[in-house]
Amino acid sequence: MYCKKCKNLDTKVIDSRLVEDWTSIRRRRECEKCGHRFTTYEKMEFVKFIVIKSDWRKEIYDKEKLENSILNACNKRNIDFWKLESMISSLENSWGSNKTWITSKRIGKDILNALAKFDEVAYIRYASVYHNFETAKDFVDFINGEED
Ligand SMILES: [Zn+2]
């Protein structure tokens, strides 16, 4: 993205937000050389769906971020990466099948259910991040099913 004023190629993004129809991103950019500010619109053809967070903020689904969080949970576990990858793909298909949006809560739950069958340790680690366990009691409550 080059500056239309001085043709400099180094511009930085000051602000990115979703356009109302959720199909493009509006970015405010600033030229690092002359300070000229301009707006660009980028179509999100690569986006499968929008994630709605618990505080109603909307986020573009980020596969890399999701993958990293799962890989963290699988750290040092002897897991089959390709199996994991196909697990993620089939989840993505179900999330994107009839809607253009999905809640982050649903994503978290689906991953937990899938991990439970995949690797017990990874499941517990992911659960501890997802449910924000702060004390050992939180964890025990979760295992005993007192928290959903
Ligand atoms: Zn410029």
What is the DSSP annotation of 80-122? -HHHHHHHHHHHHHHHHSS-SEEEHHHHHHHHHHHHHHH-HHH
Find the 38 Cα to ligand 1 centroid distance in Å. 10
Q: How high is the pLDDT of residue 131?
A: 76
CA distance 75 to 87: 17
Q: How high is the pLDDT of residue 45?
A: 55
Over 60: is that where the pLDDT of 132 sits?
Answer: yes
Find the 94 Cα to ligand 1 centroid distance in Å. 44
CA-atom Rg of the chain in angstroms: 20
Range 10-31 average pLDDT: 82
Higher pLDDT, 146 or 49: 49
Own/partner contacts of 107-113, CB < 8 Å, gap of 24 or more, are: 107/51, 107/66, 111/66, 111/70
Find the 17 Cα to ligand 1 centroid distance in Å. 22
| pLDDT digits 0-9 by tens, 112-129 | 999 999 898 999 889 888
Q: Which of 39, 44, 37, 38 is nearest to 18 (CA)?
A: 44
Residue extents of the structural domains in the chain: 11-43, 50-143
Over 60: is that where the pLDDT of 19 sits?
Answer: yes
Range 68-90 average pLDDT: 87
Find the 144 Cα to ligand 1 centroid distance in Å. 60
Find the 4 Cα to ligand 1 centroid distance in Å. 7
Over 70: is that where the pLDDT of 48 sits?
Answer: no
Q: How high is the pLDDT of residue 31?
A: 94
The reported pTM is 0.62
Find the 33 Cα to ligand 1 centroid distance in Å. 5
Range 27-40 average pLDDT: 93
The answer for residues whose C-beta is within 8 angstroms of residue 110's C-beta and 6 or more apart is 91, 94, 95
Backbone angles phi, psi at 37, to 5 degrees: -110, 140
CA distance 148 to 142: 7
Q: How high is the pLDDT of residue 22?
A: 63
Range 25-47 average pLDDT: 83
**Do 73 and 115 form a contact (C-beta atoms < 8 A)?**
yes
Find the 44 Cα to ligand 1 centroid distance in Å. 26
Q: How high is the pLDDT of residue 42?
A: 75
Find the 20 Cα to ligand 1 centroid distance in Å. 29
**Do 52 and 43 form a contact (C-beta atoms < 8 A)?**
no
Range 72-96 average pLDDT: 86
